[in-house]
Every structure is written in C-alpha cells, then in structure tokens.
Chains A and B, each alone.
Chain A
Amino acid sequence: MRILPVKWASVLGLALLAGCSQGPDGPTLELEVFQLVQQRVASIGGSAAAAVERPPLTRAALDTVEGPYIEVTVENRDIFAYLSQQLVRRDGSPGEIVVWRTEDNITLALRSGVLVATRGLGDDILSASAPVATGKPGPVTGGARSYQIRGLDNKTQTLVMACSLLDLGPAPVEIVEVTYPTRRIQERCEAQNSLVVNDYWVDSRSGRVWQSRQWAGPTIGYLRIRQLTI
C-alpha cells in the first residue's frame, strides 16, 4: 500500500473516530461494535456509577406521593427500583392483574399479588400460572404451577413445579414506619432437584399482599417486593 498523504489520512482518521451511519438501514457490524466500545470508554471516563445508596424513606415523604408504588429489590444483584402502577385488569382466569413499571421500561405483572410475568429484565418469565382466587389476596392453594421462561437460545423453557402452601401464622410486617397485621404464607415448589420458596405477607382484612419474596426465573433469582403506597 502506498503511504497516504497526511491530509487524506487525517480525514480518514476523523471518519473512523466518528464512525457513522444515516438512513433507514441499520448500522454495520463493525460500526455497532465500534460505537459500543466508544460508549464503554466514555462510561469509564465518567463518574464511577457506584451502587446507588438507598434513599431514606419516610412515611411523611410517601404520603406526598400520588398513586400506588411498589419497591422491588433484585436480591442477587442488590439493585432496587420503585415501580408505578400502569394497568389494572382482569381476564378469563381468576384474580386481578396489576402491571407495574419502572422508569427504565421494566415491568412486572402480578395476579392477586402473585408474580406471573416480567419484561425487560432478561431471561424473563413470559407467563406463569397462579394459584389464586378472585377477591382473595395471594396464593390460595398448592398444586402444580407452571412457569414459561424465555431463555437459553431465546426459546420458551417450561418449568412445572409441584407446590405446597403453608400458613406460617401471624407475622406483622413493617413498611416504612407502618406496621401491618399480616400472616406469612409460604409457597414451596419443587421440581427435579430444585426448590423455589415464595413468601407472601398477606393482610386478609384489606385483601392485600403487603410484602413478598418471589422467584423471577433462573437468571434474575428472587425479588423482594413491598407495597409502599396504595
């Protein structure tokens, strides 16, 4: 190769740094990788996004919040988010479905307080059966429970578990300065050599699951969910 004149080479160098595409066609592979590397480099230069400190919540502050919110913590990543209520609906199956959404487009769907779907977390639960009854909070029976999880090569992975339901008795739960008179209901589900334990703190008078710890699939693991405002 002939040596490029300096001017030509610097134009090329600039183009390489810019690495750009326009129009309806998506970027090329090289460009996409290149842009990704740029983003990574930029994020190293920026402030190290350390684990976000959990802001101290007070009931007085929560009382100023409008609309229902839940707080969700992903246990094995130690990250959390506040989710607002996006949709309440019913379908042909028992229970009431509530879809909760984060500001960065992650949703959880709970049927009468039982987690039946996640979106935007990766390897999501596409759908799940829920042992619920209309008008009653939390799971009401044991038996078979099926999870459809999108994972591995982006296919549906079906997991059917045999569950038993245990009432562990009164277990009042405190959520930001308020104590609710709840019972702890435990759902133990087994399949092959694995075990999933879901816990629900259920207020039978108000018909509400105030707090729960539920399994959200193999990659996400357990979520801790608590109802901050109603």
Chain B
Amino acid sequence: MAGAFTSAPVSAQDPALNAPSFTPLPAPSLNFYGSPGLLDMPSAEMQPDGQFSVSYSWFGGQARYNLTFQALPWLSASFRYNGIQNLSTTFSTYYDRGFDVRARLWREGRYRPEVTMGLQDFAGTGIYAAEYFVATKQFQAPALGFGGATGRVKLSAGLGWGRLGSYGAIGNIGNRSSFTPGSTGGTLSYDQWFRGDFAPFGGIEWQPNARWGFKLEYSSDAYVAETQDADVFERKSQLNFGAEYQATPRTRLGAYYLYGSEVGVTAQIQLNPFHPVRPMTVPAPLPIVPRSDWAKTEADWSRNWAQSAESRLTLRDQLAQQLEQDGLILESLEIDSTRAEVRFRNPRYRSDALAVGRTARVMSRILPASVETFRMVPVRSGMGLSATEIRRSDLEMLEHDAHAADALVAVAGIGGAAPLPDAALVSPGLYPAFSTSVSPYSAPAYFDPDQPFRLDLGLDFKATYEPAPGWVISSALRQRLWGNVKNGRASNSKLPHVRTDQVEYAQYGTTLENLFVSRYWQPDHNLYARATAGLFESMYGGVSAELLWKPVDSPLALGFEANYVVQRDFDQRFSFRDYKTFTGHASAYYELGGGYQMQLDAGRYLAGDYGGTLSLDRVFDNGWRVGGFFTLTDVSAEDFGEGSFDKGFRFDIPLDWMLGKPSRNSFGLTVRPVQRDGGQRVHMPGRLYGQIRDAHRASLTDQRARMWE
C-alpha cells in the first residue's frame, strides 16, 4: 500500500532521515461545524482517509455536536445535532439535526490551492443551510518553540451561499426562500443550492508547532435568524479569532472570541480506523516444525495408524486440547491416512483468517506425517462456512518465505464447506451447551427536544442453550437500575405505532428482553437458512424464516426473509397487543471492493408500508464499520412526520482496536435523526449475512496477513 508509511524520529544517530513509521501526519483542525476549517468558516482541507471525528463547539448560547467521517479520500459526510437557546418563543432551546457533505474538486499543487465544494445542512429543516466553494493553500512558516518541527500557515478563501452569503454579499443567483422553523424537512433542498446572495469569506491559520494553532477569520455569516429575528447573541463584528491546543494525539481544544461579543470553545476528538489506540498484539504461535526434522524413518510415514479407530480418536482429543490453547473449539475431525478436515468454532478472534491459520498450525503439530492435505472449516451456529485447503508441505515451506502471506494465499484453495460427513469424529461434550452471563447494559434515547439525551442503565441476565449443532434457545432478562428514558415524549405518529411507543415500553423496569428458539441449517450448496420463533426483541415476537444464497467466492449474496410478528405488550412479558402484521424483505448484498458493502432491501415494513432500503457501509479489515442508510416507502412525507422518510447512520468500533488484544466485541450505534414509524424493520437476532461473510473468500484473503499470526 503506497503512502502507508510516514517518517518519524526513531534514532538519534541519523537525525536527517528517520525509520519508516505508522505515526499519522497531523490532521487538519476542525471548525465549529466539525469540518476542517477555521472558526465558523470552512477550509478546503480533507481529513485523512477513514478519519472519524467527533467535535463539540459552543458560543453565544449555541451548541453543536458534530460527527464527521472521511468516507473517501476526497469525500466527507457529517452529521450535526445543535441547540440554540432563545431562538424562538415556542422552544426554550431550539434543537435541530443536519447533514453536510464535502467533496474535494482538486488537490493542492505547487502553486494551485486545494479546492473543495461543500453542502452544509442540505437535507434538514435547513437552519444552517449553506453552500460554498473554498480554496486553501499551505505554506511553510518559521518554527516557534521546541521540537524542531517547522511551522505551517494555511490561507483559505471562499465564496458562500445561503447562511454563508448573508453578510457582505457581492452578487446573487436566483432566489432562495428563507428558513422556516418547525417544517418537517428531511428532503433534499436541491432547488435552493447555490441560489440567492453570495459573499466572500476567508481566514488564516498559523500552526507554529505541532501543539499550537492560531486562527483568524472574516465570516460571511450575518446570523440573521439569531441576531435580527431573535436575540440569541449580539453581533458586532465579522472578525473572529482564537487559539487551539493539541492536548493529546487525538484531542484538540480551542478557545475563541467571535463576532465582537462572544467567547467560544471547541473540543475535537479524532479517531482513525487505520491507527488503533493500541497496536494489535496476539501471543506468538508455535512455529511449524517441518516433518523432515522429525519424521526421518520409514515407520514415521506409515499409514497404518489410520486403520485404528482408537488412534484417530486420540488425534481428535489432542487437536481439541491444542486448539483450546488458542481459544478455538474443535467441532469435529474427519481424517484418513492423507487428508484431514477440522471444523472449529472461533469465539476469540475477530479475524477468521487468523483462526484458520492457527488451526492449520495445530494440525501440523499433531497429525501423523502421512497427512498431507489440511482443510480448515470455520463453523458458526452449526453451519460450516467455508473450507480452506492447504497442503502441509506448503505450510512447512512458506512460513519463513519473504512473502509468506501472499505465497500461502496463492496456494490455498478456499471453497464451500461440504455437509458434515458421517465418518467425522465429532467432539464429545460440546452439546448440549449452556452459556450464561450477567452483564451491565446501557440503552440511550436521543434527540427529544425536551432533553436531547436520555439513558437507561441496568443489568442483563442472559442464558443460551444449544441442545444440538444449529439449535439455539436464548433468553435475556433485563433489570433497569437507573434511567430516564421513561420521561420521554408520547408518540404523535399518524401511522400504527410500530416504533414510536418506546416511552411506553420504558415505563417498565424488569422486562423479558427476548426469548426465542432458532434453528440454522444449510439446505443445499451455497444456501443458508434460519428459522426463529419466540420473542425477538422488546417490541415484537412471532415467527421468522430466512434464506440466504452466498457462494464462498461471490461478491453477491441474495436473501429472503419473511416474518409474522405481533407487537408485545408494554410490560414486555408474555402478553401481546392487538397489532400484528406480515413483514418481509428480499435483499441483495454486494461487495463493491475496497471494503465498501452495499445492501438493497425491498419489501413490506412493520407499519404495513411497502418500499426499499439502501445501505452503504465502509468496512475495515480490523472490524471498523461506518455506514448510512435510507428507506423510501409508500408512506407520504406528511404521514411519516418529521424527517419525511427514515434514514440514519451507523458505526461499529471494535473493542480489540482499542485494547490491542483479540476480542469479537464492538461498540455499535445506529443513529436516526428522527425515530418514526415508517420504513421500520423488526430487530431479528442472528440474521445470516453478517455471520457468514466474515468466513468467506473475500474476507479471508483480505486478511491474509493474519493467517501466519
């Protein structure tokens, strides 16, 4: 990968040239809207690819919480939640949500500045709606202070429309209607983009060293709604300035003086999937000992052992014991004198490639010399997901090859797993399996205008019983210990209240979160099936069936899911409400390459509405996932209510990325700007695609680095 390495000081002996490093170059600082820029004005800079930044800004009674993701090197998207005190008489604090998107038009050249086009708050009710073109040029500057790093000056200038064209306009294009608080919003206001007055803005950022930054800008925002229509703050000047300090490599803090009257602050937290909090460290595996070192006589290569059932059972038990050392669970061994297939579960490592590699190593340690062909089959929910076939001689020959990972993948065969043969030696004592856990939980609720963030905290008591491979009986009891979600707003939805009665559900503190039985099986080659019955989630129970077609080496998967669900009573025990419905979808999943995954679902949603959902996610090889989705159904924007249609974004931050040691857990969050009843699906535990894809060819070969780990 070009450009993966940077240079950072390692050795005092060679101050001029440093050893290659993964240390990231400093990221651009953010503005009050969470995009690279000055204070209130943007710059043309882009964040490093994949950057995930969370920022908070406050001035003059206005708070903005921003989340920005650099989806492509030249494209970023932001979500913002903001509160403005005293904006209108109806709300004491006016809250709003908005999305931004920014695209770089061209990079910085020797003389040419970087130029970026931005759409700010382009789909909400549009209080911050603005469009702009901005150019930024960076210059070296004399260093100040210690560290020896040279300083930087960044000059930015741009032209803004909408809010950014409201002061000092120099012309106009067409007309632009004004912002109206309280409209449903949610639709793209493309007929307004780059319309109305436009005005110039600009500024300068000086970073004398790696820690400090000073910013000065001329703002083209007149804050009409805040200072003329209402009395949020008093605007006396268009010049803003301030200072920022890089407190840690991931946090930057700023203090400012804005509009001649107000003090402001920002806090910027920048995460990047490529730069883990701690480098991933896995205990070293045992090296492969080639058979030429220990199988030196004819007798060592004998195949007679295969005749003995007892010796095969001994091998199975030795394998199980050694796999356990690596955190893996042996499901079965199928073996003859020259071939062996090991089926295993992987509860420890996120990467199935790593688990396959460890299994191959264990096989090379245990199995007699005559076994030459190894097949490793990861198993989840009783289903064999793929079969990686590697010749033992290749393992022995390639471990210390200069290009070990590429060489191994080149000679490995990755195909579908055959059904479990009758001759397989199944591990004894795995079934029935019983798991229990007591763990804390947290359940947040967002964006209520009365109180934007509410939280419930408590304990989950979970039990899972697996009577046989592919069968799961699972239940969770939930005891709330503290919480205020129950104080939220009652639903005003015109549709059946399929999701908006969450406050009613939150009235009860001791609940049965779920109780269901699931059966997983593989009806045919490339086909996976699930049937579930019971209480799926806090709001719905019923019956569900799912079928997925996913060849191991295909980027395309097709799925079909049908559910008959009944809405559960608010107390979330065993009773139901009157609402029942059929809901189901046909789904297409496609891997676009480069870690982008697309999913298209079409079908009937919980409120009986018909339509489709499009989701796009960027998935990193270390388990990071950031994506967005929207759903259009035959519910009209008016019936849907605020937001006009269902949309949102989601992210998953792996725990192992933070800890630097193996884990399959992650912090996941799906955020909808508005939770309504249109375009909603039932939350089904154990849907197929996510479990299966990880062990298929694309994922295994993308993570081939880990096969030898």
Contacts and interface: CB of A to CB of B under 8 A. Distances in A.
B284 A119 contact: yes
B348 A126 contact: no
B440 A19 contact: yes
Interface in A105-124: 105-107, 109, 111, 116-117, 119-124
A27 B280 CA distance: 19
B279 A219 contact: yes
Interface string B271-291: 001110011111111110110
B435 A23 contact: yes
Contacts of A33: 655
Contact of A12 (B402, B406, B481, B660): B481
B397 to A, nearest CB: 6
A104 to B, nearest CB: 8
B1 A87 contact: no
Given A129-B402, A150-B706, A15 B438 contact: yes
A158 interface: yes
Contact of A87 (B19, B289, B348, B704): B289
Interface in A75-90: 76, 86-87, 89
A151 interface: yes
B114 to A, nearest CB: 22
B708 interface: yes
Interface stretch (B8-16, B35-43, B178-186): B8-16
A162 interface: no
Interface residues of B, number: 91
A30 interface: yes
A218 B402 contact: no
B293 A89 contact: yes
A190 B442 CA distance: 51
Nearest to B347: A26
Nearest to A116: B400
Nearest to A120: B284
Given A87-B287, A126-B405, A127-B403, A155 B1 contact: yes
Nearest to B273: A153
Interface stretch (B141-149, B157-165, B252-260, B618-626): B618-626
A175 B702 CA distance: 44
A20 interface: yes
A109 B402 contact: no
A153 B621 contact: yes
B666 interface: yes
A154 B7 CA distance: 20
A164 interface: no
A130 B400 CA distance: 10
Nearest to B402: A129
B425 to A, nearest CB: 19
A25 B462 CA distance: 11
Interface string B85-116: 00000000000000000000000000000000
Nearest to A20: B438
Nearest to A154: B622
B621 A155 contact: yes
Contact of B5 (A117, A154, A155, A159): A159
Interface string A196-216: 110000000000000000010
Contact of A22 (B329, B437, B480): B437
Interface string A129-151: 11000000000000000101011
Contacts of B405: 126-127, 148, 156
A107 B284 contact: yes
B331 to A, nearest CB: 11
Given A151-B279, A154-B280, A122 B660 contact: yes
Interface in A1-44: 1-2, 4, 9, 12, 15-16, 18-34, 36
A117 B279 CA distance: 17
Contacts of A46: none
B305 interface: no
A218 B17 contact: no
Contacts of A156: 405-406, 704-705
Contacts of A28: 437, 439, 460, 462, 665
B400 A91 contact: yes
A228 interface: no
B705 A155 contact: yes
B251 interface: no
Interface stretch (A55-63, A64-72, A92-100, A166-174): A92-100
Given A27-B439, A152-B275, A219-B279, A109 B19 contact: no
B400 A122 contact: no
B666 A194 contact: no
B303 interface: no
A73 interface: no
Interface in B570-609: none
B22 interface: yes
Contacts of A222: 10-11, 19
A128 interface: yes
Contact of B279 (A107, A122, A155, A194): A122
A32 B404 contact: no
Given A127-B404, A157-B5, A121 B20 contact: no
B436 A111 contact: no
A87 B345 CA distance: 29
Given A25-B464, A28-B460, A93-B402, A192 B709 contact: no
A219 B706 contact: no
A193 interface: yes
Contact of B665 (A32, A89, A159): A32
A15 B462 CA distance: 13
A191 interface: yes
A29 B289 contact: no
A194 B18 contact: yes
Interface string B502-545: 00000001000000000000000000000000000000000000
B284 A91 contact: no
20 contacts: A19-B440, A21-B438, A23-B434, A31-B439, A34-B440, A36-B659, A104-B283, A116-B400, A119-B284, A127-B708, A148-B402, A148-B405, A151-B4, A153-B274, A159-B20, A192-B7, A194-B18, A215-B19, A218-B22, A222-B10
Given A34-B439, A91-B398, A117-B400, 19 more contacts: A1-B486, A23-B435, A23-B437, A24-B430, A24-B435, A25-B347, A25-B437, A30-B441, A30-B460, A76-B10, A122-B280, A148-B403, A150-B280, A153-B624, A154-B280, A154-B703, A155-B702, A192-B5, A195-B17
Interface of A: 1-2, 4, 9, 12, 15-16, 18-34, 36, 76, 86-87, 89, 91-93, 97, 99, 101, 104-107, 109, 111, 116-117, 119-124, 126-130, 146, 148, 150-159, 190-197, 215, 218-219, 221-222
